[in-house]
Structure 1
């Protein structure tokens, strides 16, 4: 099987590296010729080009671009392909992508591996990035089962744990455990920086340790990615933000009214439940 990968950054490049080591012929496409050259020189891919036409003879293609580029890339790509080619993506939003992508290409299968690091680009590529990572596959009712199985098999080969979901349910779940945390974390940093007392801000910067480091990590990540989460998963992110806001208001009220037993119950519950959300 010949596999094409569009986008040779952290996600696409790491996937290409693992698949190449598994013996697949992997053909990469990047906007930058320098990235193509690095990917080839490091044996991440068998061949690489800035031209999508190089993927004409592939059997399966992964679109590993930012969310905003998935559909435009697909539109440019399909004119080069025979009808049997299966196409998937790695985007963190599915509801605004999968139906339109399937209209463009009936052999499209949405997928989303939950993996990554804070680093970006071809230099950040690492092997086994997807080992033991969850990967959600989001077919529509009319998605051919054989295509789902092809995509599932490849993700399993690089170590992913597979979950099946509709695009809508995926987006609701990801809003809670991925997109909402980015906004909360970003707001934590923003609130600290904009505090009215600069002396407090300066001291806070010097005192910040593991607690702040852990809770601020995702808010200090790639701004482009955070913005696209909000743009492309707007409805579900807003729903989770509003529900979070209601819960936070309840906690504020508990503290104001010194309802310590209620607050203790919440903290006990969160201590017990947190491990259930960790893969």
Structure 2
């Protein structure tokens, strides 16, 4: 059997990392799938769930962790599925001869390091994550009918890019190659800002002098709140890194959101019925233009 890769070494077996591992195993895309991480318990759980075949527990320092990857060959693939800051740390240490792919939510800073180090690197961002986190959220079909952005380094061979593209196709994704800055501006507005809003909304609700017990009693009737704050159940540690790494575009987006919120507040405060209705209709029209009318 001809495999797409000989060995795939997945650093970080959370939801995305374990889902990739499960899909690789299910579709037989690699001869061997190895998980690497700092928690032996998490790695054992990933192995039990069929995300990896074997595992290596990493040391406390990035240098020692990269030492665990030194045996990777040109036909292998290293997947960095860690928080964004850790991805940058790994890229500063990894060998330039090995093909590397990350699955982080930002690309500008990561590609800058990859190009400086002349790495065979493709930045990937599968738009497939959910509010679930950890290996318990792993799903071999997570990427089916989803979309993935790809940003190759200047030193990534065409053959490497084709293999990475083929990987995502076999995982079920459509893909597009995108410039890192455009990617970060786009997801800063369409993904990162909504997470800021969801976390902030949940905090605001808890400050409205309503007890947790009062809210829990009627939680089944709060469909709007539940829907809008679903992503506030996501990993705070992961989003902490994303917010700080993409702060330039995220701050631009939050400033614009704050302006729009102030407009709505002003119309309500002044009982400006016409202004309020126009603002709401404008937003509704924009929503329909992008996502279409509800079925």
The TM-score with structure 1 as length reference comes to 0.87
Aligned to 1:64: 81
Rate the CA distance shift 1:148–1:200 in 2: closer, same or farther, 3 A. Answer: same
Say whether residues 1:240 and 2:253 are aligned partners.
yes
Aligned to 1:39: 46
Alpha-carbon offset, residue 230 of structure 1: 1.6
The farther-off stretch of 176-185 and 261-270 is 261-270
Say whether residues 1:100 and 2:117 are aligned partners.
no
Aligned to 1:48: 55
How many residues matched?
272
Q: How far, CA to CA, are the matches of 2:93 and 2:292 in structure 1?
A: 42
Say whether residues 1:127 and 2:143 are aligned partners.
no
Rate the CA distance shift 1:267–1:68 in 2: closer, same or farther, 3 A. Answer: closer
Alpha-carbon offset, residue 97 of structure 1: 1.0
Aligned alpha-carbon RMSD (Å): 2.6
Which of 144, 149, 160 is the equivalent residue of 2:157? 144
On the 8 A contact 1:66/1:91 being kept in 2, the answer is yes
On the 8 A contact 1:4/1:27 being kept in 2, the answer is yes
On the 8 A contact 2:115/2:154 being kept in 1, the answer is no
Aligned to 2:9: 4
Q: How far, CA to CA, are the matches of 1:181 and 1:189 in structure 2?
A: 12
On the 8 A contact 1:254/1:262 being kept in 2, the answer is no
Rate the CA distance shift 1:205–1:266 in 2: closer, same or farther, 3 A. Answer: farther
Rate the CA distance shift 1:277–1:157 in 2: closer, same or farther, 3 A. Answer: farther
Q: Where do 5+ consecutive residues of structure 1 fail to align?
A: none
Alpha-carbon offset, residue 41 of structure 1: 4.0
Aligned to 1:163: 176
Say whether residues 1:86 and 2:99 are aligned partners.
yes
The TM-score with structure 2 as length reference comes to 0.82
Say whether residues 1:265 and 2:281 are aligned partners.
yes
Say whether residues 1:193 and 2:206 are aligned partners.
yes
Q: Where do 5+ consecutive residues of structure 2 fail to align?
A: 59-67
Q: How far, CA to CA, are the matches of 2:41 and 2:293 in structure 1?
A: 40
